[in-house]
A and B are shown apart, each in its own frame.
Chain A
Amino acid sequence: MHFGATLRLLRVDAGVSLRALAQKIGVSSAYLSRVENGHDQAPTPDRLIAIARALDLPPTLLIDLAQRVSPFVARYLEDVPSASFLFLEIARRKLNAAQLARVHAFLDAEFPAWGAASAPAVPRLHELLTPERVILKLSCSYLGDAIDLAATRLAGAAPGLHATTLAAEIRERERESPTGVGHGVAVPHALVPELEPVAALVTLARPLHVPTPDDLPLQVLLVIVGGGRAPLEMLARAARLATPGTVAELCQATTPEAALARVRHVESEFG
């Protein structure tokens, strides 16, 4: 995933200008622009927390996306050095997502967390998708065509939605600022707070050569309509699909169910 592109995507949808955001977190807009274009490294955890506040996002999400160690963790490790040894043990065993889930379950059972165990405010990505809203092996020559087709599937999700109108909105947003998040993934969307969010997944048989942050052609589209309570968080989660492994597996999926299973797998990796 291209962190800078994801950050720009979130910023544009939050309706915050580059300069305004830079001012809020106390950096130069030139620096922020370099980050968004991938010419500079992802910001430090403290700056990421400041950005998250400015965009009204959960800080951990941005830190996850930037692949940084959360300051909470860093502070904890300073206080309890022996915990660092435990992390080392986990790393040495190379535990995968499923095994980590078991560790997690053990922690939950043995040391229940205090409060804050409510259901997440944002639905998981795979809950936004259904097999009918997965289009596999699409080949077309324009991104607009792909968006139109996704819109036809999304239109069925709720009565009163019209594919043509949906497609027009999504294309308009795409024209404003492309939604590529790197590794051949784009998340074209139309955020409407009043609508419960729904998504359509499109895998492309022939990669589309459109401008993307890392110049890789598009292979997977996750088209999202609606918003719910935390639309930005949803987009940030969608950006997690942009890893080479996930993209390759999604493109090889021959049934919608297989593609959905892969999305669910990605979601489960992040707990």
Chain B
Amino acid sequence: MAYLLHSPLCLLIAQLVVIIVTARVLGVLARKIHQPLVIAEVVAGILLGPSLLGLVAPDIKAALFPAASLGILGMLSQVGLILFMFLVGLEMDLGLLRGRGRASVLISHTSIVVPFLLGTGLAFYVYPTLMPEGVAFSSFTLFMGAAMSITAFPVLARILTERRLLRTKVGAVTITCAAVDDVTAWCILAFVVSIVRATALTEAVVTTVLAVGYTLGMLLLVRPFLARLAARNTGREGLTQNIVAVTFVLLFLSAWATELIGIHALFGAFLMGAIIPREGGFARILAEKLEDIVVIVLLPTFFALSGLRTQVGLLDTAEAWVQCALIILVACVGKFGGSYVAARVTGLGWRESAALGILMNTRGLMELIVLNIGLELGVISPTLFTMMVLMALVTTFMTTPILQVVYPPEALAKDLLEPPLADKRVTLPEGFSVLMCVALDRSGPGMAQLAGALVGKQTASDRLYGLQLHRPAERTSSLLEDEDAAESPSALEPLLARSRDHGLAVRPMSFVSREPARDICSVAEVKDVDLILLGWHKTLFGQAFLGGTVHDVLKNAQADVAVLVSRDLQAVRRVLVPFCGSPHGRVAVRLARRMAYAAGAEVTVLRIRFRNADAPHVDAFLADIAGDRVKVVEAVDDGNRATDLVVKAAQGHDLVVLGSAPLPIDQILSHCPASFLVVHHSERPGPVHRRPRPLTEPSTDATAHA
């Protein structure tokens, strides 16, 4: 034994092997009884620690986990945790926090406040026996409160995904609440840590100020930078290693900064993950790169370390077990009860409320992370640590079976959200065909949404095409090229997925093109489409609108072209059309009217008159267009106020459709947060040219040139 473990590195590797194997074996068992993997990993840690291995075979435990080696293992697990918290942040979509209505706000707040208060209350009861010496009572109380209000966002997300609950109302509300809970709980925790570490009040104030400044800096400076970095570097080619390196350096700097400030390094990692832009798969690719090594190799070391610190033997009195039971009870009552009551108040049924409560009660490994921080700070004693670990284990363990009882699959089937987009089709002129050109995968969903709005319920004469043009390879190695192609999914995938959701059939095409603009135009011609839809992407520096490929397509296309500036276009319900009477504007109005009739959108045409000028043909055009679904509003522009008028009117609209001239699009775009569709009218050749002709007709000059 001693020979096998003679050097620190040998020891570390042996520890890793034992830890990973134990966790994986138990993981298989956990799967058998429908438990999340976390349970297996925590139990594996406890089994390897003094609670079992230390009791049964103290020699082996002493040889395998000597006290001297725990420092190295500890550092490794800390790095693992930093990366893991980064992953948690990545999974946490801050977009979830926006606009989710009163229900989520009420439930999430209640589900923090109630357990927090109960936790502090419990602190009053247990502090005589369980509070370590030399700790301020206030710190202990605050920590107990924070520890009670944790919800395990990652475990929750995994349970919801596995049970296909994400698309139910319960799932949507729960995931939002859990996100809010976790962000709040981590903020509270960061605050508690800073208070515990501070020796004087002034120091605590300084820490808090620094922490707020750091958070603002991350949100206001680093986040926009990352957004541009991501916009620039994701999509067709995936991420280069340099970009990943930059991200990691930023991550470690962020963790380092928070550790220096005095809140925990994990907070910095979490915040960094949370502000990584979600668009374009940047976050997804990063997560994929990280996930395996972190979850399989590094995280189990953390569990093992927690297990080594968990000494069930410390609970040797009846009183201790009573306290332990009380902690579990309070934790459940606080979290489950709090969320259940709040959910009932907001009008959810008892089944849904109970499901939500039990889900929120899952504490998983987030609790473990918090507890380890507490133990390292000395805020809680090893005995209390053990009790709380058991609490985390029990609350996580009970989630799946109870959920099975209160929310069986039959109830779930009834609750699956109906897909939106009602069919309110009024008769529209003939079929409509759109060619959607996708360059980056994140522009796909918006385009599909728009196509759905233009076509409504697809009939045989409505044709939708998705086109993706690859740049010719620069590398010569065909082998590498093939591997790349196999790894990166097509940029068309998100478009096709969203189209399927809306019941639209899109015919995908992609190929290598040296002149994308020319190919877009010729595909549009051969497919005889009514509209070419292009995406617009922010460049890293500068924002020339309608430049490059888009410009070339506008110039050469024989069909109308629309450029979609999608700012997370989720639905096309309210549409604004600023209109000055230009030919481009007329096409914009017609497209919007199509949305009104095909998808039931509410369309407002904002007629802008320049200095009250009279334009009878425009009036006639509008009179023809206006109907029960298309409303016309007048506005007068007495000198360069068009931008303001449009920006003001655009409030509350999902989509602004406007002609490529004469309104100042660059200005409007930068001032208005809505999604835009910029429409360009192209003169099409008359119907005579488009009628199929016999091939041989132009034979004379064709032969001459061939």
- Listed in ascending order, the chain A residues whose CB lies under 8 Å from chain B are 135-142, 145, 148-149, 151-153, 155, 157-169, 190, 192, 194-196, 198, 202, 205, 225-226, 252-255
B478 touches A254 (CB 8 A): yes
B110 CB, nearest partner CB in chain A, Å: 50
A164 B690 Cβ-Cβ under 8 A: yes
19 extra interchain contacts, Cβ-Cβ under 8 A, other than A160-B701, A164-B692? A135-B511, A135-B512, A137-B512, A140-B508, A141-B507, A155-B522, A158-B702, A158-B705, A160-B702, A161-B698, A161-B702, A162-B693, A163-B525, A168-B692, A192-B696, A195-B699, A205-B485, A252-B481, A254-B476
| Listed A/B pairs (29) with beta-carbon separation below 8 Å | A136-B472, A136-B512, A137-B511, A138-B510, A139-B490, A139-B509, A139-B510, A139-B511, A140-B508, A148-B527, A151-B526, A152-B519, A158-B698, A158-B703, A158-B705, A159-B705, A160-B698, A160-B701, A161-B702, A163-B522, A163-B526, A195-B696, A205-B485, A226-B706, A252-B478, A254-B475, A254-B476, A254-B478, A254-B512
Instruction: Tell me whether B523 is interfacial, beta carbon within 8 Å.
Output: yes
Q: Is the interface of A mostly helix, strand, loop or mixed?
A: mixed
Interface centre among B519, B523, B527, B706 (most CB of A within 10 A): B706
Indicate whether B201 reaches chain A with its CB closer than 8 angstroms.
no
- Complex: A175 Cα to B523 Cα, angstroms: 21
Task: List B contacts of A153 (CB < 8 A).
Answer: 522
Q: Quick one: which of B660-703 are within 8 Å of A by CB?
A: 690, 692-699, 701-703
Query: Is the Cβ of B703 less than 8 Å from the Cβ of A196?
Result: yes
Interface membership of B245, Cβ < 8 A: no
Chain A's closest residue to B512 (CB) is A136
Residues 511-527 (chain B) with a chain A CB within 8 angstroms: 511-512, 519, 522-523, 525-527
Q: Could you tell me which B residues sit within 8 Å of A by CB distance?
A: 470, 472-473, 475-476, 478, 481-482, 485, 490, 507-512, 519, 522-523, 525-528, 690, 692-699, 701-703, 705-706
Residues of B within 8 A of A139 (CB): 490, 508-511
Q: How far apart are the CA atoms of A140 and B698 in the complex, in Å? A: 31
Ranked 9 nearest A-B pairs via Cβ: A160-B698, A196-B706, A152-B522, A158-B702, A138-B511, A194-B699, A163-B526, A136-B512, A254-B473
Q: Which residues of A contact B706 (CB under 8 A)?
A: 157-158, 195-196, 198, 226
Interface centre among B473, B481, B526 (most CB of A within 10 A): B526
How long is the Cα–Cα vector from A78 to B478 in the complex, in angstroms?
A: 48
CB-defined contacts of B512 to chain A, threshold 8 Å = 135-137, 254
Minimal beta-carbon separation of A19 from chain B (angstroms): 30
CA distance A67 to B490 in the complex (A): 41
Q: Do A253 and B478 touch across chains, with their CB atoms under 8 A apart? A: yes
A145 to B, closest residue via Cβ? B509
Cα distance A190–B482 in the bound complex, in angstroms:
33
CB neighbours (8 Å) of A136 from chain B are: 472, 511-512
- What distance in Å separates the Cβ of B557 from its nearest Cβ neighbour in chain A? 13
Cα of A26 to Cα of B526 in the assembled complex, Å: 46
Residues in A with CB closer than 8 Å to B511 are 135-139, 149, 202, 205
- Nearest-Cβ distance from residue A127 to partner chain B, whole angstroms: 11
Query: Provided the pairs A155-B522, A254-B472 are in contact, do residues A138 and B696 lie with their beta carbons within 8 angstroms?
Result: no
Distance, CA A248 to CA B477, complexed state (A): 15
Cβ contact within 8 Å between B703 and A149: no
A138 and B703 within 8 A (CB): no
Q: B511 — nearest CB in chain A belongs to which residue?
A: A138
Instruction: Compute how far the CA of A157 lies from the CA of B698 in the bound complex, rounded to whole angstroms.
Output: 13
Residues of chain B within 8 A (CB-CB) of A162 are 692-693
- Give every chain B residue within 8 A of A253 (Cβ-Cβ): 478
Contact residues in A for B703 (Cβ distance below 8 Å): 158, 194-196
| Bound form: Cα–Cα A137–B522 in Å | 18
Given contacts A163-B526, A252-B482, contact A205 B695 (CB under 8 A): no
Interface hub of B693, B698, B701 (most chain A Cβ within 10 A): B698
